[in-house]
């Protein structure tokens, strides 16, 4: 039997930004299940369950992606009908869109399936939540200088995301 891993490519949220988001989120008293600070990220491509044997191919795809570092600002709060609350940019940086496109094109070239919904950059802060009036976030800005492949593991009470490998933007 083949081992299956639940995987995704994402931008890791810097620790200082994650801590600031958690402080703001706590002060808002928003309903829902908060995403743990260590799980905060911005997904580039969700791969879902993949055979462990595909890891080397995924690493090769990531190594072939070229992108310059860029700045991102998350400044808007959005609530989906499914109760996901996330932070998103008012305007997506072109370099971010190019990075996501290049990664997705590489996955397509090697026939690795991924969630093909249109890319909408966001960082989920709550599940099973609802936006409250006046809960406008401050602007969270950081220099994106790397992306990573993550593994999602189910644990009692939720999930834990573990970085398998990172690639610098240069």
| CATH number for 85 | 3.90.1140.10
pLDDT band at 1 (very low <50, low <70, confident <90, very high): very low
pLDDT level of residue 93 (50, 70, 90 thresholds): very high
Confidence of residue 28 (pLDDT cuts 50, 70, 90): confident
DSSP reduced 3-state for 150? strand
Of the residues 58, 72, 77, 122, which is catalytic?
122
The overall pTM is greater than 0.85? yes
| Residue range of the domain that includes 58 | 4-168
Work out the mean pLDDT of the chain and round it to a whole number: 94
Pick the catalytic residue from 41, 61, 106, 140: 41
Domain count, the chain: 1
Catalytic annotation on 41? yes
Q: Is 78 a catalytic residue?
A: no
Residue 98: is it exposed, middle or buried by C-beta count within 10 angstroms (0-12/13-18/19+)?
middle
- Beta strands 158-168 and 33-34 are unpaired
């Amino acid at each position: 039997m083949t081992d299956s891993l639940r995987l995704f490519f994402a931008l890791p949220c810097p620790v200082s930004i994650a801590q600031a988001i958690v402080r703001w989120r706590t002060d808002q008293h928003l309903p829902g299940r908060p995403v743990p600070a260590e799980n905060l990220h911005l997904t580039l491509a969700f791969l879902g369950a993949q055979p462990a044997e595909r890891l080397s191919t995924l690493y090769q795809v990531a190594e072939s992606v070229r992108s310059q570092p860029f700045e991102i600002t998350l400044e808007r709060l959005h609530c989906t009908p499914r109760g996901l609350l996330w932070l998103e940019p008012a305007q997506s940086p072109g370099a971010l869109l190019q990075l996501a496109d290049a990664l997705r094109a590489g996955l397509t070239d090697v026939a690795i399936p991924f969630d093909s919904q249109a890319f909408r950059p966001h960082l989920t802060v709550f599940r099973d939540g609802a936006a409250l009036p006046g809960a406008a976030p401050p602007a969270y800005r950081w220099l994106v200088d790397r992306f990573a492949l993550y593994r999602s593991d189910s644990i009692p009470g939720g999930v834990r995301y573990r970085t398998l490998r990172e690639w610098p933007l240069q």
